[in-house]
Structure formats: C-alpha cells, structure tokens
Structure 1
Amino acid sequence: MAAANDDPALARNPANFQPLTPLLFLERTASVFPGRVAVAHGALRRTYRDLRDRCVRLAHALTQRGIGRGNVVAALLPNVPAMLEAHFGVPMAGAVLNTINTRLDAATIGYILEHGEAKAIIVEREFVPLLRAALALTRARPAVIEVDDHTTPAAARAETLGGTDYETILSGGDPGFAWPMPADEWDAIALNYTSGTTGRPKGVVYHHRGAHLLAIGNVLSAAIPRHPVYLWTLPMFHCNGWCFPWTITALAGTHVCLRAVRGPEMWRLMAEEGVTHLCGAPIVMATLLNTPEAERRALAHGVTFLVAAAPPPEAVLRAMREAGFAVCHVYGLTEVYGPAVVNEWHEEWNARPIAEQAALMARQGVRYLALEGLAVLDPATMAPVPADGATLGEVMMRGNVVMKGYLKEAEATSKAFAGGWFHTGDLAVMHEDGYIQLKDRSKDIIISGGENISSIEVEDALYAHPAVAAVAVVGRPDETWGESPCAFVELKPGASATEAELIAFARDRLAHFKVPRTVVFAEIPKTSTGKIQKHLLRARVRGA
C-alpha cells in the first residue's frame, strides 16, 4: 500500500487537516450549550455564550493594540474569571499566555517579564504593589491591564499603575472578531516558568497541539463525564491549571472560581455548587482533612480529587478514601503540561484491605493516553531498569505532550532531551505490572554510609504517626556516615509528639540506617503549588 502514503492526490489540504488547538473547545461548547453556566464566582454566573464573547473581545482588543502571533501576554492573577478568559482570549489573538505565580518575589517576576519579553500584563489590583516592585527591578515595560474583581480585598481596590481597566479593554473588543487559528499547531500557546528551583526559573514553552492533547488526556485518564462542576483549588498559573481551563470547557462544565484555598470555603462550595471534581497537591488534601468538623458541610454526592505534586503519603490517601473522596493519583511536571501519568485503578483492588489500597494508590502509575512513551531508565546507559520494584532509575518521557523546550536555553533543552527522551530528574522503580513509583528526586536521595535512602520512604513512615501533619526529610552532614536523614515536622493542631517518640516510631517501620537521627519541629517551606522547598531545608541543615 505504498500508494496510500505516496499518492500526491492524498496530500494534506484544508478539508482534511487543521492544526490542533484547545481554543475550538470554547467555540463548540458555546455553540452547543450557549445557556449553560460556564463560570460561578460568588453571586456571578456567566453562560458559555457570555464566556465566549468576552474571550473573543479580549482577543480583538489585544490585536488592536498591536499584539499578535508570538507576542507574550503575562497574567498576575488569582483564580478569578479574568484568568480563565485569558486562557482563551490571549491565544485567540495569536499571542502566548505567560501565567505568573502570584507568590513569587518581585525580583523573580521582573526577571520573568524581561526574559519572556512580555508586551502586556493583566494584573489584579491586589498584586499591583508586587508588580510595581517587579517593574522597578527590570527593563521590561509591558502595557498594564488592571482587573478589579468583586473579590479583590477592599484595601487593594485603589491600587493602580495607571494601566487600562480590564472591563474597559473588553468593552472595546468585537465579539464578532474572526480570530486567527494558529498557523501551525506547533505554535506556542503558553509560557510557564519552573518553580521550586535554586537558580533562575526556566521558561517552558507549550504548543497548541500539546495543550489540545493533554486537555483531552485529562478527560480520558480521570474518566470525567460531561458537565462536571470543577472547583478551582489548583492555581491556574501552575502549568495552566494542568490544562483544566480547556478540559472543563470541552466538557461544557462549570468553572467554580476560588480566590484562595481555605478549608471551610472549599467545603461550602463543594456542597452549595455541587462540585464533582477538584485538583491539587497533597497540601490541599491536608487542608480539607484538617478542617474542623463544625466547619465542614455534608456532601450529597461524590467528589473526585486529582492529586499530584509530591507523592501523597499513604496515611493521607487512606484518610481521603475514608472521608468519601475518590482519589485519582496523577504525576507530571511543568515540562509535560502538568499530569502525564495516572494511577489507573483496577476494580478488583477495591476488595483489598484499605492499607493495601492506599499502598497501591501511592504509586504514580502508567502513561496518559496522550503520552506516547514512559520508561524508567538507567541515565548512564539509557537501558530500562528491571521491573522488580526495587531497582532505581530515572523517569523519562517522550511524546506530543512534552514541551517544545526551554526558552532561550539551548544547552538546557539539549540536556533535557538527550537520547531522545525527556529526562525528568525523578528517580523511580518499575513494578512488575508496569506501574512506576517515585522514590525521590535525584538531588533528594540521601547517601548514608554508601547506602541510598529514599527521603519519600522515610516521610511515608513518619506520616503514619497520628500527630504528624506534614514532614520533609533531607540529608544532614554527618561526620561518620557522610549524610544522615533529618526530618522537619509540622504537627496537627492540638497534637503533640517528641523527637524521641517519632524516631522510635520510624525505627519500628524502617531499616535502622534509614531512621532520622534528628527531628526538627518547624514550619516547612512550600511553593504556592504545594511543592516542599527542600533546597531551603538542605541549606538550613548545612548552615548556609
């Protein structure tokens, strides 16, 4: 059948080939379900007809201001409707959306604006002082568009950099604007900067094709039905909300906006809005579970929680199941648009004891359907490790939901893609059934007396203690062993435990060389996306 590949009459043409893009999800949903509620934000309700018109107005308004293909538009926003609109309106202008972590320091934000060459920035008034400080530290001079949301703190509503009001911008846009499809599905749709690093963040570039495929991958991997009600606990600035702005829109679901993650408010919204799905790091789970009973609300329906970031401790996963949440464990990185691996659950596992179920759920799992390759390889030889659940290797991925590369970082991009695979830097084992399980970041492995100690294994053991709310384990310099485990612990409200008690507790569950020699009771530094900043803890134990 060579002719099927070589016949010139079978070439691509506009009738049989169009660039993949998630932007068409909004056009379809607005056409099929125009009156369905797209956005719930306090008393505000917007239909898909309204959402589509506002996004197209934004695209037209940006175009009128000379912003087009390849130009970067930054966003410094919480999870408010304007952030959702930016996910469609900015790329509908042909531009690239750069969502910025609102908890970054001014110097880092200034660096991002300059490095990404932002031509405009959409900022909510609460973050105007932060942006003002950032602009004072950079040569970047983006046009400023200011959002005054009804949830903006009253003290911040007068803050301004003299920028144009967001609603004024939209009022000048035309909802009939014929926004341009991407010239190529490889065109950039988003620019996301890595977080939790010790040096300058790297700019990860996404394309329309990958965003389309990962958004659909979310639907399939999490088995999300039509018309979900999605609570925005995950920041949209983090990997574009794991592509869920596009996923939920494709399913004609309702986006329930949430300005800040607070336990009582999450329980209230889940009950009153009929929330069916939410995403987040284990810290969001902990916030839900630690909400006092008096401030919780009864849920008349099941809620699916997609959890990622650090592997959730088995004790937390068990508690979520017991609280009535269906937990879907996913794993990914900024470089792969968010989650690209899922713990596919087998029905027969439900018959196992809850402790075994939690242990199975703690594994990261298998590749998304949207990811073509997932392996645990020896980074030196690029050979697969044995599927024995014990041999460590590096998690590597390949496929259409891997980033284009790092912006202006040719050497880092080449290193990340060495050997035709994306090197994640995460260490894992491959189980006999093909499921991977993370054991650590390569830089987080503790080497004590020549033995490798997984910090995650030690953390899981301590998380099983009823008084422990959060724990992070790092290597501490040791004159005898080179390094020894040091555990930083946060206790649950009203709970108590001593260093000796926790060390003894761990000794009952771990090989003795893995047991922490020291326990420090202190607040554990985290990024806004829930990642524990172990580099800060390592610096602390080294006296840096």
Structure 2
Amino acid sequence: MEDLKDRASLDQRLEAAAMVGMTTAVWASVQPDKVAIVDPNGRSKTFAEINAAANKLTRLFRERGLKAGDSLALVCSNRAEFVEVLAATLRAGIRITPVNWHLTPDEIAYIIKDCEAKILVGEQRVHAVAEAARECPDLVLKLAVGGDIPGFENYDQLLEPIDGSDIDDPVLGNSMMYTSGTTGRPKGVYRPVPAVTPQAMYAMRGYDHETSVQMCAGPAYHAAPLAFDVRAAMGAGVPLIFIDKWDSEHVLRTIHEHKVTHLHLVPIMFQRLLALPDAVKAKYAVDHVKYIIHGAAPCPPEVKHAMIEWFGPVLSEYYAGSEGGAGFAIDSHEWLRKPGSVGKRPALLQVRILDENGNDLPNGQAGTIYHQLPPGGGFSYYKDEAKTQASRVDGFFTMGDVGYFDEDDYLFLTGRNAETIISGGVNIYPQEVDNELIKHDAVADSATVGVPHDEWGEQVKAVILLKPGYTPSDALAQEILDFGRATLPAFKVPRSLDFVTELPRSEAGKIQRNKVRAPYWEGRTRQI
C-alpha cells in the first residue's frame, strides 16, 4: 500500500512539473545517478547531468536576452545534447524546431529563417550547418556541439561555469515540426498550445522507471522518434539508448545487451531485422521487449505477422500526422483480428470519409480521410494561411490520405491523394526533385513519383520528357541522375529514371502525378 501511495505522489509531482517543463528535474531528484542517455559512442549521462545542462542552457538563453516565445533550431544527430537542449527549451518557454541534418545548406537555412530562430544549436559533424548559419543574420546565439564550428560558440565551454541548479521560474516551451506538401518548401506545423503527455499514457504503455529501457533507432529530429522514443523516455524517467546509424545486428545486439523494453520502428526496420540469418537472430534474446510502436509507412501484413511471431504480440501501430487529429492505434491482438487495419474509429474526435464533392461516404466505400480539429483549431501551417485553409472542410482537415471504414468501423488505408513519397518511413516531396532535374539542358519536363519497392515501401523514380533533339539512352538517364545528385540530398535522388513522350497536365498546368504513378501500381491492392 505504501508503494502505491509513493507512486501516486510521484505521479502528482510529475503531472505538475510537466505543465512547466520540469519533468526532467523531478526525475533528477528521484534518481540523480541513474543513466538517462547512452550515446552511440558509449558515452553516458545521468538524469542529474541532463537536468543540470538544461538549467545552464536556460540561464544562458536569458543572459543573452532571449525570452519565452523565442525560437530555437536544433541541427543535431542522436546524442545527449539533443535531449539537453530539448529539456532546456521545455522549461525556458522556447519553441524548438529540430531540423533534418541531412538536408542541404539552403534547405537548413530556409527552415532556420522560416521558424524565426534566434538560437541555433548545430553539430560539428554536420558540415552544412556553418554555411546555413551564414545565411541567417537574425541569429542571436549559435552553439557548436561535438567540436568547433566557425562563427559558433563552443557548447561545453560556454556551459561549464554556469549554475546548474533548478531554475525557480520555469515556463513551458513548445515545438514546431516541419512538414510539406507539393510546393517544394516545408511548412511548420504550429500549435499555440504545447502538448503535454499525461503520466497515465506511460503506464498504459507498460513503462516502469525502475526496469524499463527505451531505444531510439530512428533520427530524433523526426516527429515519431522524437515523440515515441525521446519524449517518452524523458517523461517516463527511463534510460534512452541512442542508435546513430542502422545496422541490423547492432540494433538486435543493443536490444539484447541493454535489455531494451520499449522502441519505435518503421516497417523497413522490421524487414531488415527479419532478413538477418536465423543463426544471428538466435544469438540475441528479445523476450524482455514489452512495447514496439510503429507507423510512418504501411507495413505489409506478412512482415507484421513475422514480427509478432518473433517478438510476441507487443506491436502497436499508429496512424497520424504531424498535424495531429484524432489519431488511430491498434495493438497486436486487435490487428490479428483485423489484419491491415490501422485501428478503430476514435471515440473522441470524429473522422469522416468524403468523396470528391465533399459528401460523406458509407462504410465500405473509399474516399479522402478528414480528421476533426480539436477545440480552438488545433494547428496551422506557420505563416501560410492559404495552405492551412486548403486542407479544411467544416472543422475537419485532411492529410491527403484515402481509405474506408469496414462494417466494424476499422479504418483501412487504400491510397494517398497527397503527392508525398514515403520511402522507408521518410517523407520525400517530389516537387523538390523536379525543381532540380528540370534544370538539366535535356529535360523539358519532370514528374517524380513513388513506385513500389518491396523493402522501402516506395522508391523515388524520375519520369522525364526530353527536349527536342535529345534521344533517350541509359547514358543520358545516368547523366540526369548524376546532375540531380549534385544538388539534392542523397535520400531524395531518384533511384531510377524512365523517359516518356508526354506528361499529363491539367488545364491549369498542374502535373497530374496520380496518372504518372498509376501504371507502376497496377495490380497492387494498396496504391500508396
């Protein structure tokens, strides 16, 4: 009984602390010497060390004249400083935008400026960050993590002399992730009210701060690993084991050696783990894993069946987006009864299936999925009211996905109106690719699409219309791909290229990408 009272008291402290961004401070007082973070290089930091760094950063921000409501851009890989900076922004009232550090200097600079960052924390290994910073004159503070960067102040040296004790006037910070559609430039998903996860959610997922261990195998700058790995570990008070680069046996070994209980994965990670030789898989125990959450890309039913057979019924699938909405979830037991579904119709916020004319469709008929906005509007695309309103109908918004409810109100995804390519759980925006390929002297028009790929879900393909006087050839295809590789991040470069004699466009001049994509998806039941 006493243990239950102690737990209830701790939960009350954590709930109160979460409202002002001080959850890490509570865990630092409860378990100061417990390891909070294990870096890919083996470096570890305790809860007390993470908390002290957050307090130091908050004081540094204030010394430099920064205040609640200001913005910070974080360009950093999976390492302890990522969590320290996040913990600082939560208590300093700062809005944090994690940036994909694989982007080009121009793309990074665009996000830094668009989110109106006054603080930039960049990692020395990310060579693009120095060039990006030079394009951002409004930065007040630039901190270099993991080594020196020209024009930046050294993170460790600057924090070392600052007081690390808890600040007494915390203000809850916010976050703004970036997403995109077809315009070629990402947009911030802005919510005026920060989201706070209740402690009951961690209990529902089976966390125990004394025995649970979280692993983050995906990039922390991505919304899902940030929420389900990083923020979950911080909120539940459990160690977070960072993986820097995917290696299937290393990941499996990490799960085994660190007794990982909770993790977020995407389907391609499932496939890579399953592809390991049976002798390798047999070397590592996984029976201690309690909770694997997955989403971000469709998971082939046979892959999910194999994972459940291996790890047990511990998989939980979600369907949601950076924009929010009701959200869908389905655990292994429920999914085995409804294979292929992403979950049952939510009880709180509504979800509608609409046809092209905005009419509601009955169960069994596929249409565009619209999610009800929460009271107050939920989100807006930062500084883009036109894009915000374009996705809305009568208090509902869409992410461009297509699906239907079955007779039992379970949702099945059948397609996507949006042109976004999801390859291995990573969003790629085709217009960005087209904008570069069209610069080649031989290219008259370009339509980049996602085509089926057994491992990645989708793979990037360029469909090219040549200018008069140019003849299709393997050599020219390679030349165009190499041309794109010179300016695009590696993950956006098309993996293949087809030549066509015409590309369909609407009367308004918009490329009809669905028509370009359709032949590649013939015979597939899920045209994603």
Q: Secondary structure at the match of 1:228?
A: coil
- Cα displacement string for residues 112-136 of structure 1 (whole angstroms, at most 9, x for unaligned residues): 1111121121111110x21123235
CA distance in structure 2 between the aligned counterparts of 1:111 and 1:313, rounded to whole angstroms: 36
Q: 1:94 to 1:427 in 2, by over 3 A?
A: same
Q: Secondary structure at the match of 2:125?
A: helix
Contact 2:268-2:455 at 8 Å conserved across structures: no
Is the counterpart of residue 360 in structure 1 residue 338 in structure 2? yes
Matches within 5 A, 1:468-479: none
CA distance in structure 1 between the aligned counterparts of 2:214 and 2:343, rounded to whole angstroms: 24
Residue in 2 that maps onto 1:107: 106
Contact 2:370-2:396 at 8 Å conserved across structures: no
Q: 1:253 to 1:111 in 2, by over 3 A?
A: same
Contact 2:17-2:26 at 8 Å conserved across structures: no
Q: Secondary structure at the match of 1:175?
A: coil
Which of 238, 246, 264 is equivalent to 2:222?
A: 238
Contact 1:331-1:364 at 8 Å conserved across structures: yes
TM-score calculated relative to the size of structure 2: 0.71
Is the counterpart of residue 406 in structure 1 residue 391 in structure 2? no
Which of 141, 164, 174 is equivalent to 1:189?
A: 174
- Cα displacement string for residues 317-376 of structure 1 (whole angstroms, at most 9, x for unaligned residues): 122123225321111111129x932114547x7xxxxxxx2x83431113678xx41413
Residue in 2 that maps onto 1:219: 202
Give the counterpart letter for 2:223 in structure 1: C
- Cα displacement string for residues 22-78 of structure 1 (whole angstroms, at most 9, x for unaligned residues): 723223322333333222234433322222222111211222122211111111111
- Cα displacement string for residues 177-198 of structure 1 (whole angstroms, at most 9, x for unaligned residues): 525343xx7xx60121115755
Is the counterpart of residue 416 in structure 1 residue 391 in structure 2? yes
- CA RMSD between the two structures: 4.0
* Bigger Cα displacement from structure 2, 40-49 vs 108-117: 40-49
Which of 144, 149, 152 is equivalent to 1:160?
A: 149
Q: Structure 1: state its 5+ residue gaps.
A: 1-16, 149-156, 350-356, 446-454, 460-469, 475-482, 493-522, 526-531
Q: Structure 2: state its 5+ residue gaps.
A: 1-14, 431-446, 457-480, 485-490, 504-510, 512-528
TM-score calculated relative to the size of structure 1: 0.69
What is the number of equivalent residue pairs in this alignment?
432
- Cα displacement string for residues 246-289 of structure 1 (whole angstroms, at most 9, x for unaligned residues): 32222221111122222122112111111111113212222322
Matches within 5 A, 1:246-285: 246-285=231-270
Q: Secondary structure at the match of 1:343?
A: strand
Residue in 1 that maps onto 2:371: 396
Residue in 2 that maps onto 1:176: 165
- Displacement of 1:139 in angstroms is 4.8
Q: Secondary structure at the match of 1:323?
A: helix
- Cα displacement string for residues 379-429 of structure 1 (whole angstroms, at most 9, x for unaligned residues): 6665543223x4323241333798531211122223334311232221111
Q: 1:179 to 1:423 in 2, by over 3 A?
A: farther
CA distance in structure 2 between the aligned counterparts of 1:122 and 1:34, rounded to whole angstroms: 26
Q: Secondary structure at the match of 1:363?
A: coil
CA distance in structure 2 between the aligned counterparts of 1:401 and 1:55, rounded to whole angstroms: 31
Q: Secondary structure at the match of 1:288?
A: helix
Give the counterpart letter for 1:262 in structure 2: D
- Displacement of 1:239 in angstroms is 1.8
* Bigger Cα displacement from structure 2, 19-28 vs 532-541: 532-541
Matched-pair identity in %: 21
Give the counterpart letter for 2:344 in structure 1: V
Q: Secondary structure at the match of 2:338?
A: helix
Matches within 5 A, 1:437-516: 437-443=412-418, 487-489=451-453
Contact 1:73-1:95 at 8 Å conserved across structures: yes
Give the counterpart letter for 2:412 in structure 1: Q
Q: 1:428 to 1:217 in 2, by over 3 A?
A: farther
Q: 1:387 to 1:138 in 2, by over 3 A?
A: same
Q: Secondary structure at the match of 1:259?
A: coil
- Cα displacement string for residues 133-163 of structure 1 (whole angstroms, at most 9, x for unaligned residues): 3235555545321111xxxxxxxx5x62241
